[in-house]
């Protein structure tokens, strides 16, 4: 796993070539390629799998494709990358990806790559962080890459404007937890790898904060009042120092409830 590329990049190498799950940002693409070359000298770069559309995970695609990779993603991820995206008031607008950066292999529900005496299983989890999230699982190695479905030390940036939802995110994590065991290595989109127990605690946090926000909203409290009630307080020491502030996370959850009323 490579840290420092804007997002966590998993390198799977062997006699059949190299597969990357997520590639990082455009600015770090050259460094990623150099690092991969050092890790797997002589092994051909064959595929890059995008777990979702966010540019800190897909920005390197153009350089990776130029280096020989075939880009793969869930079909909604390609659709998002093809068009400019406006993440809202907290983030700059994301331009459409260059044509050469777009995934050329897409799937709807699931697909698998059979390489290097192993298998990489890709599973679409709908309406989770966005509408195009893919979980990448190496069954033989017992390693799973969740992309931004899991932030090791932070609250998630649930992309409600592009099909994401708290309920879908929790369901996605439940799917992974049902297949994981105590030896599973859980790779987050950002932060250090964890265990099934870490992922279960993350799921519990989402459920607990989501319930608190929902109760307050159903009591007729305004967004400002819900924020003032600090429904994240019990979890802020563990998850409050990430890129999504506690206040912003509450705003996202409140918005999610509003969209689904």
> Measured at the alpha carbon of residue 114, what is the angle toward residues 111 and 120, in degrees to the nearest 5?
55
Q: Note the pLDDT tens digit of each residue in 113-156.
A: 999 999 999 999 999 999 999 999 999 999 999 999 999 999 99
Q: Is residue 253 part of a domain?
A: no
- Give the separation between CA 35 and CA 30, rounded to whole angstroms: 9
Both tokens assigned to 168: 């879908």
Q: How far is CA 19 from the centre of its chain?
A: 17
Q: Is residue 30 part of a domain?
A: yes
CATH number of residue 67's parent domain:
3.60.15.10
Both tokens assigned to 86: 């406006």
Which residues on neighbouring strands pair with residue 48, listed in sequence order?
Answer: 20, 71
pLDDT exceeds cutoff 90 at 20: yes
Query: What is the phi/psi pair of residue 136, to 5°?
Result: -110, 120
- Say how many Å lie between the first and final Cα of the chain, rounded: 40
Range of the domain at 137: 10-204
52: left (phi over 0), alpha (psi -120 to 50) or beta: beta
Q: Is residue 227 part of a domain?
A: no
Q: Note the pLDDT tens digit of each residue in 188-232.
A: 999 999 999 999 999 999 999 999 999 999 999 999 999 999 999
Q: How many distinct structural domains can be found in the chain? A: 1
Both tokens assigned to 24: 């990082």
């Amino acid at each position: 796993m490579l840290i420092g590329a804007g997002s966590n990049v998993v390198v799977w190498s062997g006699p059949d070539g190299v597969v990357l799950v997520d590639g990082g940002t455009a600015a770090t693409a050259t460094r990623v390629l150099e690092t991969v070359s050092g890790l797997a000298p002589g092994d051909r770069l064959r595929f890059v799998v995008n777990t979702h559309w966010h540019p800190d995970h897909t920005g390197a695609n153009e350089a990776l494709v130029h280096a020989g990779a075939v880009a793969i993603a869930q079909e909604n991820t390609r659709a998002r990358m093809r068009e400019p995206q406006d993440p809202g008031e907290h983030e700059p607008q994301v331009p459409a990806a260059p044509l050469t950066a777009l995934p050329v292999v897409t799937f709807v529900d699931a697909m698998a790559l059979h390489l290097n005496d192993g298998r990489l299983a890709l599973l679409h989890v709908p309406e989770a962080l966005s509408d195009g999230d893919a979980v990448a699982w190496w069954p033989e190695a017992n390693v799973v890459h969740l992309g931004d479905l899991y932030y090791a030390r932070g609250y998630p940036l649930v992309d409600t404007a592009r099909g994401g939802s708290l309920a879908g995110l929790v369901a996605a994590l439940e799917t992974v937890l049902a297949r994981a065991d105590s030896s599973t290595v859980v790779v987050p989109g950002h932060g250090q790898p964890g265990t099934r127990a870490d992922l279960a605690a993350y799921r519990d946090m989402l459920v607990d904060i989501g319930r608190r926000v929902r109760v307050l909203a159903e009591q007729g409290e305004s967004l400002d009042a819900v924020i003032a009630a600090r429904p994240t307080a019990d979890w802020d020491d563990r998850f409050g120092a990430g890129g999504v502030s506690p206040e912003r996370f509450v705003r996202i959850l409140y918005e999610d409830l509003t969209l689904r009323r």
